[in-house]
Amino acid sequence: MSQMPQLEVTTLPADAVEVGRIADAWGIKGWFKVIAYSSDADVLFTAKDWFLLPAEKGAKHFSSTVLLPVKQARTHSDSIVATSAAVTDRNGAEMLRGARIFVSRAAFPQAAEGEYYWVDLLGLAVVNREGVALGQVKDLLATGPQTTLVLGYEEEGKERERMIPFVDAYVDKVDLASKTIVADWQLDY
């Protein structure tokens, strides 16, 4: 009979960001395969504490937020594998299958100059050069060579969307401190 790994029940940090999920056990020594939600999964390699929430589908072997101390995470072939001192065998790793992985935003590596994590852009107000409100960032789309901001705004009592390419030609300034983006864009574009 398999036993659930001994993981500490905890509270999800206020700045938690969902970064992936545990796909399956990998090998016999408690390693597990991870599916990252971003092609740039550096935070999975650098964060030493992952917060797990139960799988949305399938078997649930725990019911609240648990802390998974990560001993090592690395790339293997085209995927990510990780291990924790709390998970000692394949059976323990299998019990984590489907668990959603969250990491504190404070644990993310520093973004390079002029680069931003998508999570930091969500909710920012976008105005044009004249100070006219264009909307609020509600989503981002990877559209091949560029990212596109999806803004939500209201017009005549109806929710609308506006899209602006997130490139230097249209985005003048991102100010995370004031939670605003200034864009070279007009209401009728």
CB-based contacts of 163: which residues, under 8 Å, 6+ apart? 141, 148, 149, 150, 151
Tokens of 91: 């059976």
Global pTM reads 0.78
Beta carbons of 21 and 38 less than 8 angstroms apart:
no
Question: Coil, strand, or helix at residue 121?
Answer: helix
User: pLDDT tens for residues 33-70?
Assistant: 999 988 778 899 999 999 999 988 877 788 899 999 99
Q: Which domains are delineated in the chain?
A: 8-107 (2.40.30.60), 118-183 (2.30.30.240)
User: pLDDT tens for residues 121-143?
Assistant: 999 999 999 999 999 999 999 88
